[in-house]
Amino acid sequence: MIKDKNIYDLVIIGAGFAGLYSLYKAKLANLNVITIERASNVGGTWYWNRYPGARCDVESMQYSYQFSSELQEEWEWTEKYATQPEILKYANHVADRFNLRKNINFNTEIKSAKFITDKNYWLLTNHKKELIKTRFCIMATGCLSTLNKPNFKNIESFKGEIYHTGSWPHHKVNLKNKIVGIIGTGSSAIQCIPEIIKDVKQLYVFQRTPHYTVPARNAPLKYLKGKNISNMREPIGYDNDLFVEEVKYNYSSFRLKAQNSVAAMALPINNQSALEVSEDRRQHVFEDRWNKGGVPFIAAFEDLNFNREANETAAKFVRNKIKSLVKDSNVAKLLTPNYPIGCKRLAVDSNYYETYNRSNISLIDLKTDPIKEFSKDGISTSKKCFELDVVILATGFDAMTGTLFNIDIEGKDNIKLKDKWSNGPKNYLGLASSGFPNLFTVSGPGSPSVLTNMIVSIEQHVNWIFDCIKYMQNNDKSFIEASLNAEDDWFKHNQEVSIDHVRSSCSSWYIGANIKGKAKNFMPYVGGYSKYVEKCNEVSKNDYEGFILK
Ligand code: NAP
């Protein structure tokens, strides 16, 4: 690498899990590196999403780094699904344990990034208009970090408090005895509602589309703590009887199961079709998964994601559960989705449906009674005025591309990323886009990303990027760019594999449907994590085939 004291080897944007691991790798590679983070601390999505009830719905023993066996060994998760405060504590522990903080500029936002072709560096500008030069740039900016704040008429006139689940305040929000309205019923609302109901006087849930959710069955993790058991079982994931020590004893084979899977998670697998078993057997399998809890429900049979008839058997099972759990049949009906299960990301909850049996909750169906406007006192729908003390927007994110577009990224020949991607995010392997040399995205569109266990996907991407940088150093190269052909083929392949997948069968943020004017393409790569990794490895083995190196 050409050494120039005024030019960083690498700038990493973001200090969430992707940014922290990138920084760790950069320091290990002795690069002159700086990480820039708009928040005042590390954690990314877990820094911002601190709404009541926020927790991860991937098992904590899997939603954690594996790059350091010491870290993996010493960290003790307390619950099957970690809470947001515990995950944030873990991110802070990682930053301290690996001495990463001194290379992070907090409270700093990158506003633009321009590739200076003749000098072969990126020129970044922060919010203070300071300039930063760097050879390489890693966008560790997260997939769900730009808020979707719908432009409700007169929202600014509301005199009460307004919060968004995706940027919840750091102080405790007092909802005691307040009248609260929550807009949206996606994963965030599904976690938030059963928590805040305990405090509020009255909760109005404004629902546009009902969401499928399955019970988490969260519980404290079991520790042997010195007690002996005769044999350490081989963990398969989502086994509520396992002791933490059993997972740690077999951590490498446990992690390998995730590596070889579709979703980068060790899940109990059933290779049967839902359609090849008897009705009794099918109900038994669904019931078993429902009782054990969590995302393995959608892997109850191998064809739920591809075969609509098979999918309908699972959807029907959940619809019947809603009917049995929600006492008011009208409310149950409104909570019942009519699209394939798993199209919008399956939510995982603790007592979501049961919460609707409480006396202090009302469900408003925005399909028949849409929001007309806000006023100083609350929200008016076409039929009624709701006086509210607090409004919670649980309206999601401008996913995957929103945060990249918030930075004015300009590549070769004055091409802006926003313009290049105006018909959808085109890139190669979700790692790099033609026209934007030496700039990598971690878990960006075009990679399995949000369809997987994110930490595993992040580690794979970051490892690939640093192997690539090392290869360039060893081969005297200082310029890498995805070729147009390679990215066209990858984009085409991504769209083809998504056609028959259940994920593309309804309007969701995966296809940009939640943001007005956004191009409608299936953004994450749905062909499966292990296949994707195979492809990435093949590319690097073949001297970065599909990339132009100079
Ligand atoms: P989301 O899934 O996009 O849900 C947003 C909700 O707001 C939807 O119900 C949507 O209705 C509604 N909405 C949006 N605009 C609206 C408008 N103008 N009027 C009325 N309703 C509107 O967002 P999210 O719940 O924040 O979840 C986003 C993603 O974050 C999840 O899919 C997941 O990947 C991640 N997440 C993960 C966890 C976890 O690990 N446990 C927890 C929370 C979030 P429509 O459906 O009709 O658009």
Confidence category of residue 342, pLDDT binned at 50, 70, 90: very high
Find out whether the beta carbon of 182 lies less than 6 Å from any atom of ligand 1.
no
The reported pLDDT for the residue numbered 374 is 98
Atom of ligand 1 at shortest range from CA of 56: 40
Residue 153: its pLDDT value, please?
98
pLDDT at 226: 87
- Does 514 sit in the ligand 1 pocket, CB within 6 Å? yes
Per-residue tokens: 218: 């969260």
What single-letter DSSP state applies at residue 475? Answer: T
366 pLDDT higher than 80: yes
pLDDT at 228: 86
pLDDT tens, 68-78?
999 999 999 99
What digits encode the pLDDT tens for the residues 150-165?
999 999 999 999 999 9
Residue 2 confidence (pLDDT) above 60: no
- CA–CA gap between residue 406 and residue 109 (Å, rounded): 10
Distance (angstroms) between ligand 1 centre and the Cα of 37 equals: 25
Q: Residues 427-438: pLDDT tens digits?
A: 999 999 999 999
The predicted-structure confidence for 90-148, as pLDDT tens digits, reads as follows 999 999 999 999 999 999 999 999 999 999 999 999 999 999 999 999 999 999 999 99
Identify the residue whose C-alpha is closest to ligand 1 atom 32.
345
pLDDT over 90 for what percent of the chain?
Answer: 95
For a mutational test of ligand 1's pocket, the pick from 87, 187, 218, i.e. the residue with the most ligand atoms closer than 8 A to its C-beta, is 187
Q: Which domains does the chain have, with CATH numbers?
A: 7-42+100-146+398-458+479-530 (3.50.50.60), 155-211+344-393 (3.50.50.60)
Write down the mean pLDDT value for the chain.
97
Is 9 close to ligand 1, i.e. is its CB under 6 Å away? no
Q: What is the pLDDT of residues 278-336, one digit of tens each?
A: 999 999 999 999 999 999 999 999 999 999 999 999 999 999 999 999 999 999 999 99
Whole-number pLDDT of residue 406? 97
Look at ligand 1, atom 24, and give the residue with the nearest C-alpha. Answer: 396
Give dist(CA 311, CA 302) in Å, integer: 10
pTM score of the predicted model: 0.97
- Determine if ligand 1 sits within 6 Å of the CB of residue 184: yes
Give the position, in ligand 1's atom list, of the atom nearest the Cα of 58: 40
Mean pLDDT within 511-534: 96
| pLDDT value of residue 3 | 59
Other C-beta atoms closer than 10 Å to the C-beta of 222 total 14
DSSP 179-243: EEEEE--SHHHHHHHHHHTTT-SEEEEEESS---EEE----BPB--TT---SS-----SS-TT-B
The token duo for 104 is 């992070």
Ligand 1 pocket check for 183: Cβ under 6 Å: yes
- Amino acid identity at 211: H
Question: Which residue puts its alpha carbon closest to atom 6 of ligand 1?
Answer: 184
Unique residue bearing structure tokens 């940009």: 512
